[in-house]
Amino acid sequence: MSPDLAAMLRLDPDALPPVEGRSAFYDDVMRGLTLRQKTLPAKYFYDTEGSRLFDRICELPEYYPTRTEIGILRDHADDIAAFAGEKAALIEFGSGSSTKVRLLLGAMRHPAYVPIDISGEHMIEAVERLRLDYPDVPMHPVETDFTQDAALPTIISGRRRIGFFPGSTIGNFTPDQAEAFLRRAAGTLGAGAGFVVGVDLKKDPAVLHAAYNDRQGVTAAFNLNLLARINRELHGEIDLAHFRHLAFYNAAAGRVEMHIESLKRQRVRIAGDMFAFRNGETIHTENSCKYAVDEFQALAKRAGWHPEVCFTDADKLFSVHLLAR
């Protein structure tokens, strides 16, 4: 592993916490590494360190989704505020740094804000920064896995609920999973709700390749942080120098795939269990599905949502969809 990559991951092998019982992370790692195609759920990218690295990815020159979506939200913030209505509760699924929501909170009239994120510490820090800039907006963070049923705070009762799911995170699901998520979100948000969803569009594969294989290696560090997290939290004994980041566009499936590839035949120990890797064998860590506008709208309809309007940038790189129930 290069010194730069090690620095990005802030590795400290002498500071491993004890394994305290079973956790969902433990169960998913143990299960995922026994499959024929080894896999780890992408939601585990976003511990504190992974969230920090993803914030860096969003600032990379190759990574067009963030700046393009921000441009769309800025241009159409008033349209989205009108769609939401006065005194709406904005529910952000996977809020992260809560950066893009600022564009909507600044345009909406008397909103409330409910961020939902699995990385509680990162979310709370982001909410504290938001409160300084929007002191009149009630904020009620919910620390949970947004892909599961979430109980929203009762204090937002009586407000119209508007889901917010930016960043093309919807693309991390397979189409069937995306449909199931939209259907579950409909139940969480309730009758009369709206949904603002960022969706990455299909485009030149060369643009996609550059976005997921940046020259600085930040995406590589973000991907390999999954292994570093296993070392930190599950007493893993994985030498990250024997693995590498791999990302490519799968045209047949319409998605970018991220993998972690073993650079040799090896065995690694995790929480006392051994896992064997062949030379070139991969752990599939993430999909990023790309959609044409009509493809996503058809998917949303199957999940019980009505497409109201779609905003795109001039270069047709990205889209923001307004959905209603």
Q: Which one is predicted more confidently, 107 or 126?
A: 107
Distance CA 279, CA 157 (A): 55
* CATH number for the domain formed by residue range(s) 64-144+157-202+293-324: 3.40.50.150
Residue 14: per-residue pLDDT:
43
For 172-179, which contacts have Cβ atoms below 8 Å and span 24 or more sequence positions? Answer: 172/42, 172/286, 172/287, 172/288, 172/289, 173/287, 173/289, 174/287, 174/289, 175/289, 175/299, 178/289, 178/299, 179/299, 179/302, 179/303
Distance CA 111, CA 116 (A): 16
Distance CA 128, CA 221 (A): 27
Mean pLDDT of 49-74: 94
Give the least confident one: 40-54, 58-72, 199-213, 271-285.
40-54
13 has pLDDT over 50? no
Question: Model pTM?
Answer: 0.85
Residue 90: per-residue pLDDT:
97
Residue 4: per-residue pLDDT:
56
17 has pLDDT over 80? no
Mean pLDDT of 54-79: 96
Phi, psi of 128 (to 5 degrees): -65, -40
Mean predicted lDDT score pLDDT of the chain: 92
Q: Is 303 left (phi over 0), alpha (psi -120 to 50) or beta?
A: alpha
Mean pLDDT of 225-242: 97
Count CB atoms within 10 A of the CB of residue 171. 23
**Domain parsing of the chain, residue ranges:** 3-7+26-62+206-289, 64-144+157-202+293-324
Distance CA 141, CA 128 (A): 10
Residue 11: per-residue pLDDT:
46
Amino acid sitting at position 209: H
Residue with tokens 């241009």: 75
β-bridge pairing 282-289 and 38-39: parallel
Half-sphere exposure of 185 (CA within 13 A, CB side): 33
Residue 219: per-residue pLDDT:
98
Phi, psi of 78 (to 5 degrees): -65, -35
Phi, psi of 93 (to 5 degrees): -90, 120
Nearest to 244, CA basis, from 225, 276, 220, 267: 220
